[in-house]
Amino acid sequence: MDFEISEKMTTILDMVGQFMDTEVIPLEGELLHGDQATLDQMVRHAQDKVRQMELWAPNHPVDFGGLGLSMLEHGLVSEALGRSPLGHIVFGVQAPDAGNIEILHAHATDDQRERFLRPLVAGEIRSCFSMTEPEMPGSNPTMMATTAVKDGDDYVINGQKWFTSSADGAAFAIVMAVTNPDAPPHQRASMILVPTDTPGFNLVRNVSMMGHPGSGHASHAEVIYQGCRVPQANLLGTEGAGFAMAQERLGPGRIHHCMRWLGIASRSFDLMCARANYRVINENGETLADQQAIQHWVAELDAEIRGARLQTLHAAWMIDRYGAKAARDEISAIKFSVANTMLKAVDTAIQVHGALGVTDDTILSYWYRHERAARIYDGADEVHKTSLGRRILRRYASQAV
Residue 45 has pLDDT above 70, yes or no: yes
C-alpha to C-alpha distance for 40 and 22, rounded to whole angstroms: 18
Backbone φ and ψ for 232, nearest 5 degrees, come out as -65, -20
Within-domain flag for 305: yes
Backbone φ and ψ for 111, nearest 5 degrees, come out as -65, -40
Cα 215 to Cα 100, 131, 219, 315: the distances in Å are 20, 20, 5, 33
180 and 100 within one domain:
no
392 and 319 within one domain:
yes
Mean pLDDT of 218-227: 96
Three-state DSSP string of the chain: CCCCCCHHHHHHHHHHHHHHHHHHHHHHHHHHHCCHHHHHHHHHHHHHHHHHCCCCCCCCCHHHCCCCCCHHHHHHHHHHHCCCCCHHHHCCCCCCHHHHHHHHHHHCCHHHHHHHHHHHHCCCCCEEEECCCCCCCCCCCCCCCCEEEEECCEEEEEEEEEEEECCCCCCEEEEEEECCCCCCHHHCEEEEEEECCCCCEEEEEECCECCECEECCEEEEEEEEEEEEEEHHHEECCCCCHHHHHHHHHHHHHHHHHHHHHHHHHHHHHHHHHHHHHCECCCCCCEHHHCHHHHHHHHHHHHHHHHHHHHHHHHHHHHHHHCCCCCHHHHHHHHHHHHHHHHHHHHHHHHHHHHHHHCCCCCHHHHHHHCHHHHCCCCCHHHHHHHHHHHHHHHHHHHHC
- The residue from 207, 236, 265 where one domain ends is 236
Residues 25/79, Cβ–Cβ less than 8 Å: no
C-alpha to C-alpha distance for 78 and 256, rounded to whole angstroms: 6
110-153: per-residue pLDDT in tens? Answer: 999 999 999 999 999 999 999 999 998 877 888 899 999 999 99
pLDDT band per the 50, 70, 90 thresholds, residue 78: very high
276 and 379 within one domain:
yes
249 and 227 within one domain:
no
Cα 311 to Cα 1, 319, 327, 337: the distances in Å are 13, 13, 12, 9
pLDDT band per the 50, 70, 90 thresholds, residue 65: confident
Mean pLDDT of 344-372: 96
36 CB neighbour count, 10 Å cutoff: 13
pLDDT for residue 248: 80
206 and 75 within one domain:
no
Q: Which stretch of 223-237, 238-252, 374-388 has the lowest confidence by average pLDDT?
A: 238-252
299 and 168 within one domain:
no
- The residue from 209, 236, 263 where one domain ends is 236
- Reading phi first (left if > 0) and then psi (alpha if -120 to 50, else beta), residue 66 is in beta
2-20: per-residue pLDDT in tens? Answer: 778 899 999 999 999 999 9
- The residue from 108, 135, 152 where one domain ends is 108
Residues 131/250, Cβ–Cβ less than 8 Å: no
77 and 134 within one domain:
no
In the chain, pLDDT over 90 holds for what percent of residues? 82
Q: Which domain holds residue 307?
A: 244-400
Instruction: Give this prediction's pTM.
Output: 0.92
275 and 225 within one domain:
no
What are 173's strand-pairing partners?
Answer: 128, 194
Residue 1 has pLDDT above 80, yes or no: no
CB neighbour list of residue 251: distance below 8 Å, 6 or more residues apart: 319, 324, 325, 327, 328, 331
What mean pLDDT, rounded, does the chain reach?
Answer: 94
276 and 292 within one domain:
yes
Residue 401 has pLDDT above 70, yes or no: no
141 and 40 within one domain:
no
Residues 287/280, Cβ–Cβ less than 8 Å: yes
195 and 263 within one domain:
no
| CATH code at position 55 | 1.10.540.10
292 CB neighbour count, 10 Å cutoff: 7
Residue 38 has pLDDT above 90, yes or no: yes
